[in-house]
Amino acid sequence: MVRTPHGAVRGRYERGVAVFRGIPYAAPPFGPRRFRPPAPPEPWDGVRDAAAFGPTAPKPPYSDAFAHYLSDPEIPGDDCLNLNVWTPEPAPGARLPVLVFLHGGALTRGSSAIPVYDGRPFARDGVVFVSVNYRLGVEGYGLFPDAPANPGLRDQLAALRWVHESIAAFGGDPGRVTLCGQSAGAISVGALAAAPQAQGLFRRAILQSGAPEASDRAKVRRMVRRMAARLKVPATAEAFAAVDRDLLLRTQADVGRLSSPVLGGPAFGIVTDGDLVPYDPLEALLAGDAAPGADLLLGWTRDEYLLWLVPGGLLERVDRLGPVALAAARARCHCGIGVPRGYRGLYPQAGTAETVGQMVTDRLLRLPLQRLADARPGSSYVYEFAWPSRLPDLGACHALELGFVFDTGEVPEAAKLAGEGAPPDLATTMHRAWVRFAETGDPGWEPWDASHPVRVFGEDEPYTAHGPRDAALALWTADTQAADPVPEASADGQPTRGAELRAVVRRLRRTAMVRRH
């Protein structure tokens, strides 16, 4: 039994580790609290049982194509702002390092209850592990004129404050907190690292396959307006709160079906709000104004894009489309013709899908993460996960590294993405690097400097490569269009090449939707 500021909780010992699941860190975000910032939970009398995972945030299920590879359990209930703690020593005074994990899922799916995210291996190795549920989709990231922006990110901030106030009772050191996230969770970590209100709540940060960014407010608002048009209600929080929750989720899934990291499309995201996110998080971190002195562990997988293309059936179609697909990639990445030509020159054996996928991965992930490492040499560490899945066509795809980081390759849900026969030695090595980073700020290889060291975790023994992505990333630095949107119309109102390219992207998205059905 452990006492928190809101009441006592009773966990369970499981294979030598104390586990507390479903602890509320904020009140249920429904009724009058819907679309509002998180409120403290109501204190409780007696001892609250913490044996089972708490409710997950409302979310639509994955399509059948993605559910074949990704697990996403749904636990009903309104008390979805909860977290879980795994600890080797649930007693004040232990002062162990703490790792807080934010799950991915494009800010619309995922939860802390996914079996791959079991925190026992971290606790087994001396780290207090915390995983967090937060609001998703329109509930967490809808942009309305009558409600504050970013309630899902505010949930994460509330969870961090709970950790700062409560984790000592579980044996953790509130001064040695590492904030870790993958994909959308990593984007959230970047936003919190730059948020003035989160300063002092964590000491280190891990960003896996997600870079700090602020989404275009107009794009997020467009997602909400499209949902409102389908629902035939005003695009306000008050109107959305009156809609049946299941209908809201179905509408969100339908409107967001055309969204893809490769092709873009309407999507939810973290936006600047003049409060929690006053500036673009990446620019704030590059300027050195945010999270000064924080140790960073940053990285990506070799073939991120394959998880985005294979389940939707787009891989072969993109290869067949050839120049049309490259034109769509240019529109998605806002770049000139020199960028795809440069990729063709660097990787002459690559097909169109690989060229497009690596272009988008570099533009959205590797380029901003390497810029962040460049701005913080000596305290940044960079990795690449290159072990290929045993399943056809997936390669070293997005999210594949998670079973290795958590050392949970034995659970069936890990095999859905990795296949059978994932090497346990690689999991041991990678997991130990994350544990060591949480303990000391040093994962076990040289920090980032002018030679650009990248630790590669692949089929052979891990090794350090120097500047393995420099030639491709230099193409973006040289491209004058890469940083600026392609205009939709010229000064006289005539459509430009940018508008034509975006029309190609829209056709590809429609094709993807048909293929999914």
Per-residue model confidence as pLDDT tens digits over 82-111: 999 999 999 999 999 999 999 999 999 999
pLDDT in tens, 37-78: 999 999 999 999 999 999 999 999 999 999 999 999 999 999
Q: Do 1 and 9 touch, CB atoms closer than 8 A?
A: yes
Question: Which residue from 133, 159, 113, 138 is spatially nearest to 34, judged by alpha carbons?
Answer: 138
CA distance 133 to 114: 11
What amino acid positions are annotated as catalytic residues?
Answer: 183, 304, 398
The pLDDT confidence band at residue 344, using thresholds 50, 70 and 90, is very high
pLDDT band at residue 292 using 50, 70 and 90 as cut-offs: confident
Segment 314-338 mean pLDDT: 91
Q: What is the pLDDT of residue 231?
A: 98
Confidence of residue 492 (pLDDT cuts 50, 70, 90): very low
List, in order, residues 6 or more apart from 261 with CB less than 8 Å away: 305, 308, 360, 364
C-alpha distance from residue 447 to each of 8, 101, 169, 171, 383 (Å): 42, 23, 33, 30, 11
- Give the model's confidence band at 513: pLDDT under 50 very low, under 70 low, under 90 confident, else very high: very low
Domains of the chain from N-terminus onward? 2-213+282-482 (3.40.50.1820)
Note the pLDDT of residue 376: 96
Averaged pLDDT of the chain = 92
Q: How confident is the model at residue 485 (pLDDT cuts 50, 70, 90)?
A: very low
Strand partners, 206: 180, 297
Per-residue pLDDT of 117-164, as tens digits, reads: 999 999 999 999 999 999 999 999 999 999 999 999 999 999 999 999
The Cα–Cα gap between 89 and 221 comes to 46
The reported pLDDT for the residue numbered 486 is: 40
Number of neighbours of residue 503 by Cβ within 10 angstroms: 14
What are the beta bridge partners of residue 300? Answer: 384
> Per residue in 385-396, pLDDT tens?
999 999 999 999
C-alpha to C-alpha distance for 11 and 19, rounded to whole angstroms: 5
Residue 291: pLDDT band (50, 70, 90) is confident
Nearest to 51 by CA among 22, 80, 8, 15: 22
Across 307-313, average pLDDT: 89
Residue 502 has pLDDT above 60, yes or no: no
Query: Which residue type sits at 109?
Result: R
Give the mean model confidence (pLDDT) for residues 202-225. Answer: 96
234-243, 351-360, 462-471, 499-508, range with the lowest pLDDT: 499-508
Run of H or E including 19 = strand 17-24
